[in-house]
Amino acid sequence: MKAFVYKRTFLLLWVLCILGALATIPYTVSAGIAQVTIPLSQLVLLIILNSSVLFGLVCWLSSKVLPKTDLKPFSLDNPLQRIVYPGALFGIFLGLLLYFFDKTVFASSLLSGEHPPFWMGALASIYGAVNDEVLTRLFLLTLIYFFLRKCLKTGERTWLLWIATFLVALLFGLGHLPALFKLMSPSGFEIFRVLFLNGLAGMTFGWLYWSRGLWTAMLAHFIADLMIHAFLI
């Protein structure tokens, strides 16, 4: 990838992350995840500043680490076969699978009460697709994979990628626990539910990231979140 295209790609990701953070406002406020005590204009400004700094740093660090690996997450070759088809297929399948587990295995721990309307869930899905994938896959997975290759000095690329994918999926699951604790005092079973469901999603998105590319993981994440937050709940 040419240098100017590479830089513009990260600039685009940075802007999308800021927009993704703003898109969560209606959902998080409506669902009670965030308690807003300041005017909306101040909240928007605060989110813009925080996301600009955080994801600006994440994108900059990712741009430095990525070239030191053999990962090619920005490929647009044959986009239908590489991005659209697998992203849509795995997004739909994962959304249905997670919903099935949540309705059967974890039925007793489902949150009760009304859920935010469709449009709020759709907007919140943008954050998962963009911000989560940039932070967890593009940055953390790439960084962990880079250090594993440096430390272990092995040619078993696939195993290292799966190890990195598992570790990031675990962190991805743990990252969803603060929101759970804000909504309730969860039991051990409910904590396991969050770790298992998000870990399963994280493993899928991680595999798509290093096998198909970042755009594929983003599309799958968006569709899976959209189905869960906007259609299936």
Which ranges of the chain have pLDDT less than 50? Answer: 109-112
Tell me the per-residue pLDDT of 126-138, one tens digit each, with 9 for 90 and over. 999 999 999 999 9
Give the model confidence (pLDDT) of 160-202 as tens digits. 999 999 999 999 999 988 877 877 787 888 899 989 999 999 9
> Quick one: three-class SS letters along the chain?
CCHHHHHHHHHHHHHHHHHHHHHCHHHHHHHCCCCCCCCHHHHHHHHHHHHHHHHHHHHHHHHHHHHHCCCCCCCCCCHHHHHHHHHHHHHHHHHHHHHHHHHCCCHHHCCCCCCCCHHHHHHHHHHHHHHHHHHHHHHHHHHHHHHHHHHHCCCCHHHHHHHHHHHHHHHHHHCCHHHHHHHCCCCHHHHHHHHHHHHHHHHHHHHHHHHCCHHHHHHHHHHHHHHHHHHHC
pLDDT for the residue numbered 8:
94
pLDDT at 29: 77
pLDDT of residue 190: 85
